[in-house]
Structure 1
């Protein structure tokens, strides 16, 4: 059954907007070529989108032809402003961007463990308001939040937990009250990191992969055939609760101590480094400084022996395994990385045995600090533990993947609404009556969270 004229127009409009978003400003001629539509059809959609203030002339093409230069059209970036938040146990980071995702302002604020609930919530909400003001955003159309916790697939709500500071449980509701016109949605932080790695990071060429988050806590995100999988209760990837050898107890339904968390979370990694006499280095968080310094020492040692150009990414672990002698500081660092890889491989092997993803990305601050050195060690161990071919890669986004994923999600949601007929007719950019009531988010908003994936 052929589409109605109105449906066909809507499809054509969305196609053109997507191309402008992906390719950047285009002329009407370029839109005709890319869409395959007729010249009159393209002229009509350009007129409609311009009248709706979704696109505007941003310049002229310097084409070599007679007559005036062709007008170049681009998305009206300030049609809507977006915010992305990364909520951690110890603070909040915020970015505000325009409709095409260009960052206009960003900031973060630490929140100490001894800060009261009210003051902590006020600090976090005030930060969002201040960054929006610095970005020149009179109002926020969409707010995407990445936080630790399980997102219920049916309601979109974050399940409650007693493991995080009390201010987490009031933050989202208070933010929605202060920004009543904004669409506020919450997603598990590791899931957002995986989306960012797939769009802009280490998994750009993969439709199926697993992101293993290594930071303050541990977690995993599963992407199969291009789709993020959450599971029946939203708990896919709660690898911190995975029972593993090498711990003194079993995890419980409320405490992941004794699970994979006890082997690979930041506190466990710091303890492991102490056992090997590897000191913290730099001004970074202790676990990041330790892992980064150890990887750097090993790379430098391998480079001295093999003459490797250290200015380019290499595979120093494999080079070292080929016979580079290690002693003293480099030997200690290598032994520590080996022991850490042994621990991480336990979790990776479990994921591989069940899902066979073909690719595992070591994410988070620790995955980034370990880089190719740590990833190669883990891959070597997995090759001995399972017959399933698995590539292990290091994140290219690190801890910033959560914020990047939240921004990508907010941009997609805003564009989905604004690029849809009926969602772009209001002068406020689609904001207003459809906003959720205070205390709720567009995707659910019980801000109870879980500490396992922070």
Structure 2
């Protein structure tokens, strides 16, 4: 990251920078919670980045950024309420209500990886290694366990399966998860596989930075 910051600081003046991080961002401070900080990150580093780059810098959870991309151009386009289940190296989720990714009071909304089951934590059950050794029916059963709490509480109407596993298993996994949710869920819920081409986290970060630059120029709506 040091090289990227140096290159950005040496280039043309920046209007806004958005950074995706695999951790919890405190909405009160805009910085990562100390308990989830990445190796090499430290309290106050966000302020140093803003000073070094001489512009506005925001941090956002990477899954929330991917959900923003899904809402703008992917499987959730035209749907303002949905849950995105991120299935990659582990499991996470993003909650989008009214077209806005929700952070929660402390930034931890959607952190389903901490949920437990008799077989272990949801995060451990949906790692790439675990996914590789189970069949698609068992994978769907685990994905249902991850999605059900949000469906039962929020009634989003749509669950999007994203991340590398969601992309690779596509509509086949989505169909099985929809069937698995139909029995226990109190409300009908559609399940779709991701439709974002390229890196959804980068696309969500670009969209966020463009919105920041626009608001700075024209004022927030």
Confirm or deny that 1:189 pairs with 2:62: yes
Once the two structures are superposed, the pairs formed by residues 98-137 of structure 1 within 5 Å of their partners are: 124-130=1-7, 137=11
C-alpha distance 154-168 of structure 1, shift in aligned 2 (>3 A): closer
State the match for 2:71 in structure 1: 198
State the match for 1:212 in structure 2: 85
Give per-residue Cα distances to partners, 1:1-54, cap 9 Å, x unaligned: xxxxxxxxxxxxxxxxxxxxxxxxxxxxxxxxxxxxxxxxxxxxxxxxxxxxxx
Distance in structure 1 (CA, Å) of the matches to 2:70 and 2:5: 25
In the TM superposition, residue 345 of structure 1 has moved relative to its aligned partner by: 1.0
C-alpha distance 351-146 of structure 1, shift in aligned 2 (>3 A): same
Once the two structures are superposed, the pairs formed by residues 297-446 of structure 1 within 5 Å of their partners are: 336-397=135-196, 400-420=199-219
In the TM superposition, residue 172 of structure 1 has moved relative to its aligned partner by: 4.7
C-alpha distance 132-178 of structure 1, shift in aligned 2 (>3 A): closer
C-alpha distance 265-394 of structure 1, shift in aligned 2 (>3 A): same
What secondary structure, in the 3-state scheme, does the structure 2 residue paired with 1:161 have? Answer: helix
Once the two structures are superposed, the pairs formed by residues 231-250 of structure 1 within 5 Å of their partners are: 231-247=104-120
- Per mean C-alpha deviation after superposition, the further-off stretch among 339-348 and 259-268 is 259-268
Give per-residue Cα distances to partners, 1:92-145, cap 9 Å, x unaligned: xxxxxxxxxxxxxxxxxxxxxxxxxxxxxxxx2323544787xxx522221100
Q: Which runs of 5+ in 2 are unaligned?
A: none
What secondary structure, in the 3-state scheme, does the structure 2 residue paired with 1:388 have? Answer: coil
Confirm or deny that 1:267 pairs with 2:66: no
Distance in structure 1 (CA, Å) of the matches to 2:48 and 2:30: 18
8 A Cα contact 1:363 1:399, kept in partner:
no
C-alpha distance 386-363 of structure 1, shift in aligned 2 (>3 A): same
Distance in structure 2 (CA, Å) of the matches to 1:242 and 1:343: 12
Measured on the aligned residues, the alpha-carbon RMSD in Å equals 2.3
In the TM superposition, residue 399 of structure 1 has moved relative to its aligned partner by: 7.0
In the TM superposition, residue 362 of structure 1 has moved relative to its aligned partner by: 0.6
Distance in structure 1 (CA, Å) of the matches to 2:6 and 2:79: 37
Give per-residue Cα distances to partners, 1:316-375, cap 9 Å, x unaligned: xxxxxxxxxxxxxxxxxxxx1111111111111222111111100011121111111111
Give per-residue Cα distances to partners, 1:51-82, cap 9 Å, x unaligned: xxxxxxxxxxxxxxxxxxxxxxxxxxxxxxxx
C-alpha distance 237-162 of structure 1, shift in aligned 2 (>3 A): closer
In the TM superposition, residue 242 of structure 1 has moved relative to its aligned partner by: 1.1
In the TM superposition, residue 177 of structure 1 has moved relative to its aligned partner by: 4.5
Distance in structure 1 (CA, Å) of the matches to 2:169 and 2:9: 35
C-alpha distance 339-163 of structure 1, shift in aligned 2 (>3 A): farther
8 A Cα contact 1:367 1:398, kept in partner:
no
Higher Cα Rg: structure 1 or 2?
Answer: 1
